[in-house]
A and B are shown apart, each in its own frame.
Chain A
Amino acid sequence: MSLSEDAATLAAVPLFQGVDPARLKLIAFTAERQTVPAGTVLVRQGEPGDAVFVVLSGEASVHVDTADGGAIPVGTVPAGTLFGEVALLADVARTATVKTETEMVVLRLGADLFFDLVQEFPSVGIAVMRELARRLDRSTTLLRDRG
């Protein structure tokens, strides 16, 4: 659970490809490393968002609550993903519920820290932008395939 190990994990995360290793260490150092037992709701739809998470290990499932009280599974969060940034960037409530399937290890970046990192280090900002673009592309593909 050392800093350099975390930084090494971060370096393997596709999101952070091309980000200076020193910056990755800074992210690992300033973020909180937390262990999440299996079956924990990490993020609940509709609650205000105060942090983003990077999954270092383990896996979680994502659900979207429907109006009739049901929950539609919309996907999984595997190790190496960043999630929770939508609520921060768009300043809206959490758009989905994330529940851990296995024990998970995450890096939690508080809102202030997240914005500081994006603002101070363009490479981190670009990484986040790239991730968002990739997701947008995925959604568009999904829509096109359905249509």
Chain B
Amino acid sequence: MEPDFRRFLWRYSLRAQLSLLALALASFPFLWLYYEMPKEIVALIGGDMGLPRHLFGIELPSHVLGIEVTAGVLLGTQCFLLLALVVVNQRFRLAIERRRIDTAESALRRIRFQALALVLRFPQAAFRQRTAAETMASMGGEIEALSVHVGDAVAVPAYQGGTIVVIMTFLLLQDPLLAVAAAVLYPLAMIIVPGLQRRVNRLSRDRSRLMRGLGERVDETFRLITDIHANDQTRWTRAFLGARLGEVFRTRVALDRLRFTIATVNTLVQQAGPVAFYALGGWLVFQGRLDIGTLVAVIAAHKDMATPWRELLEWYQAREDAQVKYENTLRLYNRPDLRPPPSDTPPEAISLRGEAIVVEDVILRDESDSRLLDRLRLTIAPASSTALVGPAGGGREALAQALAGLIEPTGGRIAIGGRDVAAMAPSLRNRRIAYVGTGTGTGLQSRTIADNLAFGLQRVPRLEGTAETPEQRDARRCGNPADPLDADWIDYDAAGVADAAGLRQRMIDVMKRLGFGDTLFRLGLHSRLPDGVAAEIAPAVIAARALLERRLTEQGEADLVVHFDPALYNDHASLAENLLFGMPTDGTFNVDRMTDSGFMLSFLTDCSLIEPLRAAGERIAAVMIDIFAGVDPDHEMVRRFALVTPPELRRLRVLAGLGETAQTRDDRLMLVNLPFRVIAARHRLDAVDPGLKAAVVEARALLAARMPPKLAGTIARFRPDAVNPAASLLDNILDGRIAADRVGAATRVRRAAAAVLEEMGLGEAVMRAGLAYPVGIAGARLAPGERLRIAIGRALLRRPDVIVLDDVLGALDSACRMTVIAILRELAAEGVTVIASFGDMDHALGFDRVITIERGRIVRSADGDVK
């Protein structure tokens, strides 16, 4: 980051500032004419304009283009020109504002990115001292105000200052005495206001500092809530939070009072001005030294001066403020202990395989200066497995992180193949050394399983075509990276595969090995077919349908699945699915609000379905009101089990009290939409009666024939000879629905389907579908053990030369731990240096060497008990 706000300003926005200046200068002549015109209009109306008549001071002949210049014609012309000038002036303002906004927003994006890029270079310890909330807060208000000023830097003084000069010149030319009077009043305000404004700025800085502090305290309260209750510290915490609010309160009151004082002074000056003009100007008019037209123009011009004056004043204050804010931001982010900046140039291909790791007298202190590692000396042989054991906090975790280059030793060094690990470029080090941890700063991203597995392989975006997109141009202009996020970032070589298909295969192999195969299969079975996979396995899925049908029949369980039959109503599918005989592929067509589609509404009307649907809706509404009586509409039970949304339930209750006549058109449509959600066998509401079912089946074919192609494109129809991209893989193989009213049907059908898929060799295709499963925020949709398996799989996929498992083994279930240890042993045999840190000595079985670390020192080093 630039060390100084001014340098930042000029370096990154010089061209924009110059263009703003040019625009401002170009606008002034039109501004001048705009002040001239009213004077002539008033002179014309007041009869002060003699003959010959004139326009902008230019004398007019009696006839122009054969039209006589009468007073009426001239007035029309004058007014038309004045209007044109208003338009021109506003066009200038618009152009300036657009340019200004663009400049300010570019600066905001640039400075935010610079700050966030610095966050990525913070040392690990910094993340223990600061919270994400705090960083977000400093990204907000302060930097925003700063960037606004970047846009204003030249535009405001040029445009507003110029406006004042134009108005003052105009006034001077009219009457010097009046001009002086007008000029004196505003500087008067300028003497009082800046002092107040400085205090306002100071207070508002205090306020944002206090609010940040309060945010941190609230954050801490959230984090420590268990301790607060466990130690009965509620009363003290209340007082503590209350005291903070007190500080905020005092600052806010002082701030608002000052603001109002400033507003009062400004208004006073603005409103006192005209009084002076009436007195002085009126006297001059009596004297005959001034005509009324000029006086009116002068008063108007003076009034127009108020805004530019105020803006100039605020600009001046904002500039000082921006400098301070810039320095504050710089101090927050530009820490002295930043890690070296990343380099985008691809690193030389090196291998650390077969290189010993030498730990030379390593000292490591934490931020409170206590020693985590105390002159540790150790040589780790290549192609071996080493266990670091010892009590938590004894130093093994610190050593594990230091070995992966995540923390830098305070003294001594860790070298691998003669290279200092801490000094190595991250693109070299952290591509060859893999680290899997369980502590803060580790975990899964809210993406798919495959994305998470490929996290260590995203290296250089593969660019297709050379044309720069508008988004890339914007990014470059703001100093942001132009790397497209949607490009293919995967380094297939690093994973030892040729392409995406090869990578998926390897992911499945690795995850199967880690005991994740069953989960992947299960997730795949319930996932929609990913686009790439659908076409490839469609024929097999169709074939699987027949096979499953045969298997179920053999077992006498054919009735556990109810197939989609174009001529029959399926009680295990929703009414919407029965009518559409398909499912929407995306969110564009909301089946819960069927009638929002104009076509559907008219279709339902044509088929005379509206009235039966509404009647069914009435019955559903009555049941919902009945069974959820006395339950808050926002209650969890309503959200999970009701057929209606909380707002709908609320409205239905109101309607039930008012009677049918109170229904609006929207209410009636809501009722018409309700039955579409009903799954007859599941909901057993009797709302969807045989008559309605028959009508729906009858309308089905007609709907398919009549549906506009655009709408039809968003619905995947059930077809016996094609896969349905909107349905899950399981549903696709069933070509129907599980008869949920048969006990155990779900389990038995699922088991049969899985067996059929395996038999047909589709097991891995299902797992591929499972790879596309989104894991949820921080992997919340998976169990902790499953998350850890993915983290380990991620490291294995990268084929590292050194792999560090920090406190991972202890967090795994015993079966998986045995598998992982077996994998680690194989890796070591292949030449990988394996290091695992854990607390329980029992897990050390199978390691070549076991090193016990306590209080930052090695207390024991022994050859492992290799079975």
Contact = CB atoms under 8 A, between A and B. Distances in A.
B665 interface: no
A28 B740 CA distance: 15
A85 B626 CA distance: 27
SS class of chain A's interface: helix, strand, loop or mixed? helix
Contact of B742 (A2, A23, A29, A34): A34
A6 interface: yes
Interface in B114-146: none
Interface in B682-703: 682-686
Given A26-B628, A116-B636, A3 B623 contact: yes
A23, A32, A40: which has the most chain B beta carbons within 10 Å? A32
Interface residues of A, number: 24
Contacts of A120: 631, 635, 637
Contact of A4 (B629, B686, B742): B686
A143 interface: no
B67 interface: no
A36 B743 CA distance: 6
Interface in B723-763: 740-744
Nearest to A104: B743
Contact of B641 (A30, A36, A40, A106): A30
Given A26-B628, A34-B743, A40-B743, A116 B637 contact: yes
B627 interface: yes
A33 interface: yes
Among B623, B637, B740, B743, the most chain A Cβ lie within 10 Å of the Cβ of B743
Nearest to A6: B684
B623 A35 contact: no
Contacts of A113: 641
A144 B568 CA distance: 60
A26 B642 CA distance: 9
B684, B685, B744 interface centre (most CB from chain A within 10 Å): B684
A33 B571 CA distance: 14
Interface string A28-62: 11101111100010100000000000000000000
Contacts, number: 57
B686 A2 contact: yes
B741 A29 contact: no
Contacts of B623: 3, 25, 29
A4 B623 CA distance: 9
A29 B636 contact: no
A94 interface: no
A110 B623 CA distance: 22
Contacts of A30: 637, 641
Interface in B622-667: 623, 626-631, 635-637, 640-641
A33 B739 CA distance: 11
Contacts of A25: 623, 626-627
Contacts of B628: 26
Given A29-B623, A29-B641, A35 B741 contact: yes
Contact of A3 (B640, B685, B743): B685
A113 B744 CA distance: 18
Contacts of B641: 26, 29-30, 113
A33 B686 contact: no
B314 to A, nearest CB: 57
Contacts of B631: 120
A42 B641 CA distance: 25
A22 interface: yes
B747 to A, nearest CB: 11
B743 A108 contact: yes
Ranked nearest first, the 6 interchain pairs of A and B with the lowest CB-CB distance are A26-B627, A34-B743, A36-B743, A25-B627, A2-B686, A30-B641
Interface of A: 1-4, 6, 22-23, 25-26, 28-30, 32-36, 40, 42, 106, 108, 113, 116, 120
Given A26-B641, A29-B685, 12 more contacts: A2-B684, A2-B685, A3-B684, A4-B686, A29-B623, A29-B684, A32-B740, A34-B742, A35-B741, A113-B641, A116-B636, A120-B631
19 contacts: A2-B685, A2-B686, A3-B685, A4-B686, A6-B684, A22-B630, A26-B641, A29-B623, A29-B683, A32-B740, A32-B741, A33-B741, A34-B741, A34-B742, A35-B743, A40-B744, A106-B743, A116-B637, A120-B631
